[in-house]
Amino acid sequence: MSTVAAQPVPGTVDPRTARKITLAGCVGIFAELYDNGIFGFMAGTLAVVFFPGSENAVQLVFLGYAVSFFFRPLGGIICGHLGDRIGRQRMLVFVILLISVATAAIGLLPTYAAIGVAAPVLLILLRVAQGFSVGGEASGAMSFLAEHAPAGKRGLYTSYAQIASFLSLLTGTLIAAGMTSGLGSERMESWGWRIPFLLAVPLGITGIYIRKRISDTPNFTRLREAGGLSKNPLKEAFSSAEHRRAMLLALFIPLMNGSGYYVLFSYMPTFMSSELDFSKVQGLLVTASSLVAICLAIPYMGRLSDRVGRKKVIAGAAIAMAVVGIPCYLLIGTGNVALAVVGACLMAVVFAGHTGVIHILLVELFPTRVRYSAYGLGYNVSAALFGGTAPLLMTYLIDTTGDIHMPAYYAVLTALGTLIAVSRVEDRAHLPLRDA
């Protein structure tokens, strides 16, 4: 079996090898994030299948969605510790295997009608396994790509991974929309809902095959050969005031992910069909349009951050989101599909300045010795507190207040939080990655 050899020389690998590594990493990320995202896109159907007759069925599905996020820090801790001790590549193979099995198992679950309350319990347990896996994916995959990237192009190369993640969401959206439209609600709720989850099998096999054929990063390999690996990376991170501060920043800088990734994309189809006068298919297609827009914008933001720095790009995106968030949601709330597309796409382009740059900024906060562990803990705690809970929080607040503009307020609030946090960062865009 052929492998892509790690480079023993200081610095990063040559551009040709970096492109191969990036392609391999993105295919794995696509499979991982498809498995994670399809749960949110199928929330309306899952509510009928696993919580029939309940007035709060959608909230219960999003409760399961939220609960899984509280296992992401655990995944980040365990996978991060092992990733800093035995290597990034091995853990990236493990996490994609875990989420593929868990996602396919959801597609095989008996329904509530067949086994009663055991069905939603099993659904949530498998969702927990998904959350654990994703906790080890983000920091591991982004560290892996950044440590392979050519000098001066870390922002661009890691932004490709974000394109892969949003393409996976786009794929999930189109599959959900196509199947809902083609099969109709009755057949979708009877058996069609299983198909998007069972697609995890071929996707997972492809991702595992590709990830097993790549070697570990030059940074990790160099550190291991020099005997410089940390025996307890997380303990080392907490023992350093510099690393503790960086982990705190890694918790608050991603605040915009709550209103962007988890509300604008994952929650949007359900929001549009349950709270606005859109059909399920219309809601999914509006989301698909915004996903196309963000995929086109992300590489430009990544490249821009290589030129002017991560801090300026993220701060600019936060300011823009605070300005356009409410007007864009007002466009979506008109009930007109064309205006909803305009509002969602504008927010998507603005959000690209955050999501296309956030991960490389966090990678650069930490040295190789503790990067996977410390970055993973800070980012996954943020995702648990402000991301995975966002759909549930929006559903609850809208039901409680009757105000359908709650997602707009959340967009402005999280943008301001990100702006404050990123102002405290030392930008390392034009400095080499540190090993220790």
Per-residue pLDDT tens digits of the chain, which is 436 residues long: 444 443 444 444 666 777 778 877 788 788 877 877 788 778 888 888 998 878 788 888 888 877 888 898 999 999 999 999 999 989 999 999 998 999 999 999 999 999 999 999 999 999 999 889 988 888 888 999 999 888 899 999 999 999 998 898 888 878 887 888 888 878 888 899 899 999 989 988 988 888 888 888 889 999 999 988 999 999 999 999 999 999 999 999 999 987 887 777 777 777 888 788 788 788 878 888 998 999 999 999 999 999 999 999 999 999 999 999 999 988 988 888 999 999 999 999 999 999 999 999 999 999 999 999 999 999 999 988 887 778 778 888 888 898 888 888 998 999 999 999 999 999 999 999 998 7
372, 139 Cβ separation under 8 angstroms:
yes
Query: CA 205, CA 97: separation in Å to the nearest integer?
Result: 8
pLDDT at 55: 77
Of 94, 371, 427, the residue nearest 234 (C-alpha): 371
pLDDT for position 408: 87
Q: What is the pTM of this model?
A: 0.85
What is the predicted pLDDT for the residue at 416? Answer: 95
- The answer to whether 256 and 318 are in contact (CB under 8 A) is yes
Q: Write down the pLDDT at residue 7.
A: 40
pLDDT at position 280 is 76
**Tokens describing residue 276:** 């606005």
Tell me what pLDDT residue 413 has. Answer: 93
Residue 149 and residue 157 in contact, taking contact as beta carbons nearer than 8 Å: yes
